[in-house]
Structure 1
Amino acid sequence: MRWEELDQQPCSLARTLSVVGDRWTLLILRDCFLGVRRFETFERRLGITRHVLTDRLKKLVEHGVLYKSAYQERPRREEYRLTGKGLDLYTVILALVNWGDKHMADDRGAPVKHIHKACGHAMHPQMVCSECGEPITARDIRVEAGDGWQDRAPLVGSDRS
């Protein structure tokens, strides 16, 4: 499978990775959730080249994850803001942060706390079933072909236990 063909795969993960699947894009999204909006601020915080930053921001705008909004007219200057589609990525970012806090933090612990505004407590994301509310892990899930899998090879390999 070639990188430029990911968006054609019958797999939601592959299609998602075709938009957000590189380190710079994920770090740009992290900064968006931290309130960064301006090109120069992304560039300074990330230490990213202008060319790479321009490319990643353009792709996020093209895919409706971010939109540009003018904050100055003369000269025209724009900032990048998350769309509803972009805001939906927060759970993904938070899950990756949680994994990093658990498996990559040093002896001092997590570098950032996430505080639930409603209750005021530091929280850790937890995946639950949308139907019954029970917590779930990989071992609690079975996959089946959906409508988007029509006329394809078998979904699950024979070596899965």
Structure 2
Amino acid sequence: MAERHSLSQAPCPVARSVDLIGDRWMLLILRDAFDGSRRFSEFQRGLGMARNILADRLKRLVEARLLQVQPASDGSAWQEYVLTRRADSLFPLIVALRQFGEQHLFTAGEARSELVEISSGTPLAPLRVCNQQGEELTPDKTRVQKN
């Protein structure tokens, strides 16, 4: 298998982000953490992944300061993986992936999970990219400026 080339020093923020969390298991672990999973066994049961892969990805997420390990909230001898404030900034990414999938990857009437606001029980509004004045931006209204 080819050795993975690190993008951690790339001048592009997207490349660095993908280098850190671009693996499907990392994104699915983060999704499950946002959905309330906290224990190794919960992640493994929900994702059905091999223990060694899960252990590796959890370790990497802790090293990246996206998850932190703390004693179990029920006082047992277990430990829990808890999202950090740094990870909170990835919530819009998870929502964007969810909304893309809802819009483009399901047929009408096909069963799927839904992300809803706790207080109202209503689905989230579609994400928008806005400028500093709150006006929606489309790709044709932006450009990458390299320094």
Q: Same fold (TM over 0.5)?
A: yes
Q: Name the count of aligned residue pairs.
A: 145
* Residue 146 of structure 2: aligned partner: 145
Change (3 A) 1:97 1:75: closer
1:105: how far off? 1.1
Q: Secondary structure at the match of 1:30?
A: helix
Consecutive aligned runs of 4 or more in structure 1 exceeding 4 Å deviation: 72-75, 117-120
The residue aligned with 2:56 is 55
Identity of counterpart residues, as a percentage? 38
Aligned counterpart, 1:155: none
Q: Distance in 1 between matches of 2:101 and 2:143?
A: 26
Give 1:110 deviation, angstroms. 6.6
Q: Does 1:36 align with 2:32?
A: no
Q: Which runs of 5+ in 1 are unaligned?
A: 147-161
For structure 2, the residue ranges without an aligned partner over 5 or more in a row are none
Distance 1:135 1:117, change over 3 A: farther
Q: Is the 8 A contact 1:3 1:18 kept in 2?
A: no
1: CA distance, partners of 2:138 / 2:40 = 38
TM-score under structure 2 normalisation?
A: 0.87
Q: Which residue of 2 aligns with 1:108?
A: 109
Is the Cα contact below 8 Å between 1:38 and 1:79 reproduced in 2?
A: yes
Mark the structure with the bigger radius of gyration: 1
**What RMSD, in angstroms, separates the aligned Cα atoms of the two structures?**
2.3
Amino acid corresponding to residue 96 of structure 1 in structure 2? L
Structure 2 CA distance for aligned equivalents of residues 120 and 14 of structure 1: 36
Moved more, 45-54 or 65-74: 65-74
CA shift for structure 1 position 112: 2.6
Q: Conserved in 2, the CA contact under 8 Å of 1:67 and 1:80?
A: yes
